[in-house]
Amino acid sequence: MNKIRAAITAVGGYVPDYILTNKELETMVETTDEWITTRTGIKERRILKGNNQGVSVMGIAAVKDMLAKSGTDPKEIDLLIFATITPDMTFPASSNVVATAIGAVNAFSYDMGAACSGFLYALATGASFIQSGMYKKVVVIGGDKMSSILDYTDRTTCIIFGDGAGCVLLEPTTEDEGVMDYILRSDGSGETYLHMKAGGSRLPASHETVDKRQHFVYQEGSAVFKFAVTNMADVAAQVAERNGLTADSITWLVPHQANKRIIDATASRVGITEDKVMMNIERYGNTTAGTLPLLLWDYEKQLKRGDNLILAAFGGGFTWGAMYVKWAYDGTRVRH
Ligand code: UT7
């Protein structure tokens, strides 16, 4: 019998309506549209406004979009994994909130925190449940409400992030397609350069932590840049090489959207041209766990069965990884 693989059979996404432009950021911090555009490639990002609007709002909208497009019955979902570092609350898991809101009454669900690599980690995990033969329908969501943990007085950090969420449905196949291979890595010494100081069990919230602005993303941008640029490119090249993929046979590079200069370096390392690189950084910025599924959502109609995709990410932890996915359906069949 042929090996069971996990195929991506549907994609969903959601970005909030509010657009925070570089021009508006110019009125908030000492920056310019020109600096942000040339240093990062970002022109605007989406922000989830309103009271009581957690990341689950975007996760629910993304999954509903996917269910409607694919005609999937939520009662058939076995498992839902939500990759996020900005859950609605420390507990319960935002995945529990999403599963109940969409009517996935037969599913169990949990969150996964691996920052910008969260979606890749969750996709690998979800695929393993399918490959084992245990489950038939697994939903993997990646999304973050980064605006909830950004210091809008820190010009190097606040300009790169935005809010958004995307998701995929994984189902078993015995065809030679779906999640083919991946390399996932982590290195906890990266904590020095990218973390949030307070609000966890090491330094719980207090007046002092609020006064010291410790509930925001702390990032030493240029140090993170150096790690990202080499590590993400290395694993993307390794996963391509060990599967015999060349610049010609890779149809799309699907890179984490942190900085256009990192994306360009990864593309050049894998040897592929810009027309084969999925990119939406100029419209959404860095949505952390949301970047990869939002790329698949934006490019879904252009994808064809048999396309070879290399997904790659790098983020807090440090965490990083790359995955080879052989696409399992034609974008033209998608109902909108
Ligand atoms: O997604 C998770 C992982 N994160 C990443 O991969 C992010 C990686 N890092 C980056 O993308 C970049 O490091 C940033 C976009 C965050 C920063 O860009 P950079 O080119 O590394 O800038 P820098 O921090 O080295 O700062 C260079 C200069 C400094 O001025 P001086 O000291 O040379 O006078 C900064 O003060 O640019 C200044 N600067 C700004 N100027 C205008 C920093 N931020 C801004 C700004 N507007 N927003």
Residue 261 CB less than 6 A away from ligand 1: no
Site to substitute for ligand 1 among 27, 29, 39, most atoms within 8 A of C-beta:
39
Using a cut of 0.95, tell me whether the model's pTM lies above it.
Answer: yes
Query: In this structure, are residues 42 and 158 in contact, taking their beta carbons and an 8 Å threshold?
Result: no
> Residue 59 Cα, ligand 1 centroid: separation in angstroms?
30
Residue 258 CB less than 6 A away from ligand 1: yes
Residue 2's pLDDT is: 82
Residue 306's pLDDT is: 98
Mean pLDDT across 103-114: 98
Nearest C-alpha neighbor of 309 from the set 321, 296, 320, 290: 296
Mean pLDDT across 184-207: 98
Average pLDDT of the chain, as a whole number: 97
Enter the tokens of residue 15: 């970005």
**Tens-place pLDDT, residues 2-52:** 899 999 999 999 999 999 999 999 999 999 999 999 999 999 999 999 999
Inform me whether the pLDDT recorded for 335 exceeds 70. Answer: no
Nearest C-alpha neighbor of 277 from the set 321, 233, 315: 233
Task: Report how far apart the first and last C-alpha atoms of the chain are (Å, whole number).
Answer: 36
Q: Which atom of ligand 1 is nearest to the CA of 261?
A: 11
* Closest protein CA for atom 38 of ligand 1: 156
Sheet containing strand 108-112, edge to edge, reads: 5-14, 163-173, 138-145, 79-83, 108-112
> Residue 160 Cα, ligand 1 centroid: separation in angstroms?
9
Residue 1's pLDDT is: 65
Measured in residues, the chain has a length of 336
Residue 155 CB less than 6 A away from ligand 1: yes
- Fold topology of 5-176: Peroxisomal Thiolase; Chain A, domain 1 (3.40.47)
Annotated catalytic residue 286: yes
Residue 31 CB less than 6 A away from ligand 1: yes
Q: What 3 state SS string does the chain have?
A: CCCCEEEEEEEEEECCCEEEEHHHHHCCCCCCHHHHHHHHCCCEEEECCCCCCCHHHHHHHHHHHHHHHHCCCHHHCCEEEEECCCCCCCCCCHHHHHHHHHCCCCCEEEEECCHHHHHHHHHHHHHHHHHCCCCCCEEEEEEEEHHHHCCCCCHHHHCCECEEEEEEEEEEECCCCEEEEEEEEECHHHHHCEEECCCCCCCCCCHHHHHCCCCCEEECHHHHHHHHHHHHHHHHHHHHHHCCCCCCCCCEEEECCCCHHHHHHHHHHHCCCHHHECCCHHHHCECHHHHHHHHHHHHHHHCCCCCEEEEEEEECCCEEEEEEEECCCCHHHCCC
Q: How far is CA 296 from CA 29, 179, 199, 274, in A?
A: 32, 14, 33, 16
Residue 117 CB less than 6 A away from ligand 1: no
Query: In this structure, are residues 236 and 309 in contact, taking their beta carbons and an 8 Å threshold?
Result: no
Inform me whether the pLDDT recorded for 60 exceeds 90. Answer: yes
Q: Do domains 5-176 and 180-326 have the same CATH topology?
A: yes
* Catalytic entry in 22, 96, 286, 308: 286
> Residue 306 Cα, ligand 1 centroid: separation in angstroms?
39
Q: How far is CA 253 from CA 79, 143, 308, in A?
A: 28, 20, 9
Nearest C-alpha neighbor of 243 from the set 293, 179, 292: 179
Compute the distance between CA of residue 22 and CA of residue 35 in angstroms, rounded to an integer.
9
Compute the distance between CA of residue 238 and CA of residue 245 in angstroms, rounded to an integer.
10
Mean pLDDT across 186-193: 98
Query: In this structure, are residues 304 and 100 in contact, taking their beta carbons and an 8 Å threshold?
Result: no
Residue 146 CB less than 6 A away from ligand 1: no
* pLDDT > 70 fraction of the chain, expressed in percent and rounded: 99
Inform me whether the pLDDT recorded for 336 exceeds 60. Answer: no
Split at pLDDT 50, 70, 90, the class of 259 is very high
User: In sequence order, what are the residues at sequence separation of 6 or more whose Cβ sits closer than 8 angstroms to the Cβ of residue 317?
Assistant: 114, 115, 117, 186, 187, 188, 190, 191, 194
- Fold topology of 180-326: Peroxisomal Thiolase; Chain A, domain 1 (3.40.47)
Mean pLDDT across 146-162: 98
Query: In this structure, are residues 14 and 58 in contact, taking their beta carbons and an 8 Å threshold?
Result: yes
Query: Where are the chain's structural domains?
Result: 5-176, 180-326
